[in-house]
Amino acid sequence: MQKRVVFRSKSLPYLLLAPQIIVTVVFFFWPAYQALESSLFIEDAFGFSREFVGFDNFRALFADDVYLASFKVTLVFGFSVTLLTMGISLALAVAADRALRGATAYRTFLIWPYAVAPAIAGVLWHFLMNPSLGIVSYWLDALFGTDWNHYVSGQQALLMVIVAASWKQISYNFLFFLAGLQSIPRSLVEAAAIDRAGPTRRFWTIVFPLLAPTTFFLLVVNLVYAFFDTFSLIDATTHGGPANATSTLVVKVYQTGFVGQDYGASAAQSVILMLIVIAMTIVQFRYIDRRVNY
C-alpha cells in the first residue's frame, strides 16, 4: 500500500514548490531562452542595437577553423581526462578494497582533492608545473631532461590541464568505484579463486563486468565534467592558450562573449553546448537503467 499525502489547501503544494521553480526558471530557463534568442542576432559590442540574422551565427561558427579546432581540443581533453581519472581511480579503489583495514584512513585522504575548488586546483598545478619555479617541471628537467614550458608549448599546456582536471576528479570516481567493489559479494570472487582464476583473470572476468553499471555512470559524469565543468580550471591556468591549444568549447564561449564581446556568436556556441548536454543526458537515462540489471 502506498500512502498518499493529501493537501487540504490547493495553494500549499505550489507554495512549497515555488522556491525550486523560481531558482530553475531564473537561473536555467531564462538564460537558456536568452541564449536561444541572442544566437539569432548580431549585437554591437555596447548593446545599443542588434539585427536579426537567422542562423548566420551558426553558419559562421562552422566555417571558423578556430572554432572547429576547439571542438577537437574538447574531445581530446574530455576523453583523456575521463580515461586518466577513471583508470587511476579504479586502480586506487581496487587497492583500497584489498587493504580492508587501512581503508578508512586511505579513503579519507583520497577524498580530499574533491573538496578543492576547480580554480584553486588549477592554480596549484600551475605552480607545481611553473617552468621557472615549479617543482614538477624541475623534476622533469632533472629526470628526463624535459624542457617544460606550458607557456610556449601547446601540447604541454594541454597535458597540464588534463592532469589537473583528472587529479581533481579522482576522489569522486574513487568513491563510486569503491562502493561498487564493496557491493560485489565476496563469495563470487572466492568462487572464482576456487575455479582456478588468478587475480588478474578474476578482475577482468568477474569484478569488472559486475562494475559495469558504475563504470558507465562515471563515464557519462566524467565526460560532462570535462566538457562543461572545467572552465574555471582552464581559465585560471592557461586562459585557453597558448594559441588556443587548451581552448575547449566552454572556454571559447567565454572568450567569444566576454572577451571578444561577440554576444551573438557566443550565444550560438552556448546553444550548441546545450544540445550536446541534452544528447548526453538522453544517452545516460536510456542506457543506464538497462545496464544496471545484469
- The residue ranges that bind another protein (CB under 8 A) are 185, 187-188, 190-198, 201, 205-206, 209-210, 294
- Nearest-approach distance from CB 288 to another protein, in angstroms: 16
Q: In this structure, is the dihedral angle defined by the CA atoms of residues 32, 37, 39 and 45, taken in order, positive or negative? A: negative
C-alpha span between 181 and 118 (Å, rounded): 28
> Which CB sits closer to another protein, 87 or 199?
199
C-alpha span between 143 and 138 (Å, rounded): 9
Residue 68 in grid coordinates: 572547429
> Which CB sits closer to another protein, 143 or 194?
194
- Nearest-approach distance from CB 100 to another protein, in angstroms: 11
Angle at 79 between CA 116 and CA 241, to 5 degrees: 70
For residue 50, the cross-strand partners are 43
- Nearest-approach distance from CB 195 to another protein, in angstroms: 4
- Nearest-approach distance from CB 213 to another protein, in angstroms: 11
- Nearest-approach distance from CB 57 to another protein, in angstroms: 48
Residue 60 in grid coordinates: 559562421
- Nearest-approach distance from CB 215 to another protein, in angstroms: 13
> Which CB sits closer to another protein, 51 or 195?
195
C-alpha span between 53 and 130 (Å, rounded): 45
Residues composing the chain: 294
**Cis ω for the linkage preceding 19 (within 30 of 0):** no
Write down the residue that cell numbers 592532469 correspond to. 163
Q: Please give the C-alpha separations between residue 261 and each of 32, 51, 74, 266, in angstroms, as whole numbers.
A: 18, 15, 22, 8
> Which CB sits closer to another protein, 49 or 187?
187
